[in-house]
Amino acid sequence: MVYIIGAGVAGLSLARALGRAGVAWCILEKEAEIGLYASGKNAGIIRSYETDPVIRHYAELTLAAYRQDEPGYDECGLIIKPWEIDYNLAGTPQRRFSHGRDSGFYLAQNGCVSAQGVLARLLREASAFGQVRFGFETQLNLHDGHLVSLQGATPSEIIALAPADQVVVANGEGAIQHAAALGRSLGLIAHRRNLYEYANVTGYTGPVEWNEETSCYFRADGDKLVATAGEQIPQASGQDTEPSGVNPSHLAALSREYPLLAERHLTGWRTCLRVMPADNRPYCGADAFLNNLWWFAGLGGRGMSLAPALAEELARQLTSKSGADAYSSALAPARAEVI
């Protein structure tokens, strides 16, 4: 049995990948439903455009998977104004931003998904081989240097681990607490990020637009435009993420970059945390010290664009079907530890 802590896009993608390999899984989710954190509150932009070759590899695999499997994937394209021009953009058509002021590149093969739609489908496809146990806020119990059980909030909620059981930490910001409790040096930092929703008064259906320099982007979502802007504000995990309200500087930046996003059309906003390691590469692989513990955490601002392919890789490692290759070894949690 593989126990997965967390039912976000990471945990659910892994459950589906394990199910495809015929492996039984059980997700332990602290909330009563899926999608209450980053995985249900993101902009759903799927981009394969990355400078880091390791990230690009998994982003391209995920993009291919969405094109094949995800009925809600909208290949509407991405217009990007890159920050650093070292992105393999040779041959990519350059054109003007349709709403921003500067010229950008057009990446026809990128697009977007509905975050909630992806989560629901993952759960549906995974469910033949396991189930989500809701309301189980998991702590790890060690004895004599071994991970022996999983503890819920009350003393009676305890899962004793059999020798062949494996445990995967896939709980977004919660991974910060698990790393701290175990004394791991993963250096995960949570950043607050806001998602704004505007009425799509013009009926815009064009490409996603992204100005990497100002960290602003938006896309159409039916009768809404969803947009994020923002600085990276480090924030302790578990801290209330809704206290500060709408950030006026975000709205000003968005309407400056994309005049379509007028403040008077703002209909809602949400905040949650993106969790990333210092090197901005997720942790996806075996714990450096415990032989029945694995990490699938630190997906940063790209979890929707990476999780499905990373999950397939992690499932391969968990089922010992293949060793790590050059890409997956770059994501090993051991890279952060002094061993």
Ligand X SMILES: Cc1cc2nc3c(=O)[nH]c(=O)nc-3n(C[C@H](O)[C@H](O)[C@H](O)COP(=O)(O)OP(=O)(O)OC[C@H]3O[C@@H](n4cnc5c(N)ncnc54)[C@H](O)[C@@H]3O)c2cc1C
Q: Is 38 in the site for ligand X (CB under 6 A)?
A: yes
Strand runs (DSSP E) across 2-52, as ranges? 2-5, 25-29, 45-46
Site string for ligand X, 123-162 (x = CB under 6 A): --------------xx------------------------
Site string for ligand X, 172-191 (x = CB under 6 A): xxx-----------------
Is residue 302 part of the contact set for ligand X (CB under 6 A)?
Answer: yes
Q: How many residues in the shown chain lie near ligand X by CB under 6 A?
A: 39
Q: Which stretch binds ligand X (CB under 6 A): 33-41, 156-164, 247-255, 256-264?
A: 33-41
Q: Which of 104, 303, 308, 333 binds ligand X (CB under 6 A)?
A: 303
Is residue 147 within 8 Å of 168, Cβ to Cβ? no
Please report whether residue 253 would count as binding ligand X according to CB under 6 A: no
Options 2, 4, 6, 147; binder of ligand X; rule CB under 6 A: 6
201 half-sphere exposure, CB direction, 13 A CA radius = 10
Minimum CB–partner distance for residue 232 and ligand X (Å): 11
Site for ligand X in 195-224 (CB under 6 A): 195
- For residues 42-101, which are near ligand X according to CB under 6 A? 42-45
Could you tell me if 271 and 192 are in contact, meaning their C-beta atoms sit under 8 angstroms apart? Answer: yes
CA angle 75, 80, 83 (to 5 degrees): 145
Per CB under 6 A, does 272 bind ligand X? yes
Minimum Å gap between C-beta 263 and ligand X is 18
Dist CA 336 CA 10 (whole Å): 20
CB 40 within 8 A of CB 146: no
Please identify which residue in 3, 14, 15, 29 interacts with ligand X, judged by CB under 6 A.
29
Are the beta carbons of 11 and 306 closer than 8 angstroms? Answer: no
Residues 50, 107: Cα–Cα separation, whole Å? 12
- Tell me the H-state helices in the chain: 9-20, 53-69, 115-126, 174-182, 248-257, 303-318, 326-329
Interface contacts to ligand X, rule CB under 6 A: 5-11, 28-31, 36-39, 41-45, 137-138, 170-174, 193, 195, 228, 272, 274, 299-305
